[in-house]
Amino acid sequence: MTAVPLLFVALFVLQKLIDARTRTEAQAEEELLLSSPSAIKKMSLGYDGLLADVYWTRAVQYYGTRLGEHRQTYNLLWPLLDITTTLDPKIIPVYHFGAIFLAEPVVGANRPDLALKLVKRGVAANPTVWGLYSDLGFLYYWHFRDYKDAAAAYLAGSETPQGPAWMKIMAARMNQKLGSIDTSLMIWSQIYNSHTDPNIRKLALKTLRGLKAQKDEQTIEGLADQYRQRFGHYPASMAALREAGYVRGVPVDPDGYPYVLGPDGKASLDPHSTVIIPKVPTTPPPPPVN
């Protein structure tokens, strides 16, 4: 009979730690970490699933209240996700959510190492869920440029009971070290199509738009170089490239603005465009934490 009262005490403490307006986040983080995931699991007294749902809800609320704020920190995001998946390692959306928002540098915690740790935990606890292998492959490819482990993750996912055929294609691309825009477009398209969370879909769409623009710019620059080889100089403008028959019409970005072609043959976005070219890491971050 003491289980339920103790559970409500735990929920009350959690609510106070996250919602208290009189504490700084650093103080709240310190207090939250005083209770380790294993200790909280013991305190749940068999109500693991219920308490995990509560922590998951708080993690979503914690992230949501900070999304869009300039230079926001997410110091409590990992502890909340850590506790949630310790209480109930079968809540699959937690791994998907964490993989994106722990790893992303602008709209998240910029901790791909923790994202990798979280998804590995998810794979270990749910070895037949192909989507987790997809998340793992994405992290290795996009944030670590680790083609070998990315290929292994996609291949393992393709061999699960419901693993889709495209994962074998991704494994092949990774084995060939095809870190191309087309590969990135394929991965982000899968993220957009396989997730229902509006924040994840918004991020995926934003990245897809940027990758599309990046691919367009590379195509235009290739045509400008062909123009140079033919005429001895770069085209003075996009109009000159069009007049020479290298492009039809006016190439526009996903926002509908015409691309700008500089005298050096480099293409760029119109200053008024809202499209953002994603910055892919050129060097991998530190190895994931244990």
Tens-binned pLDDT, residue by residue, of the chain (290 aa):
444 445 555 555 555 555 554 345 555 554 454 456 666 666 655 667 788 888 888 888 888 887 766 567 888 899 999 999 998 999 999 998 888 889 988 778 889 999 999 999 999 999 999 999 999 999 998 889 888 899 999 999 999 999 988 888 888 888 776 667 888 888 888 888 877 778 778 888 998 999 899 999 999 999 999 999 999 999 999 999 999 999 988 899 999 999 999 999 999 999 999 999 886 554 455 554 54
Residue 14 covered by a domain: yes
Residue 18 lies in a domain: yes
Is residue 69 situated within a structural domain?
Answer: yes
> Is residue 222 a part of any domain in this protein?
no
Assess if residue 8 is contained within a domain. yes
In a domain, 181, yes or no: no
Residue 290 located in a structural domain: no
Asked, for residue 4, whether it belongs to a domain, the answer is yes
Domain count, the chain: 1
113-118, Cβ contacts within 8 angstroms, sequence gap of 24 or more: 113/285, 113/286, 113/287, 113/288, 113/289, 114/78, 114/288, 114/289, 115/139, 115/143, 116/140, 116/143, 116/144, 116/288, 117/288, 117/289, 117/290, 118/78, 118/81, 118/82, 118/85, 118/94
Q: What is the extent of the structural domain holding 51?
A: 1-88
Cβ burial 87-116 (10 Å sphere, 16+ → b, else e): bbbebeebbbbbbbbbbbeebbbbbbbbbb
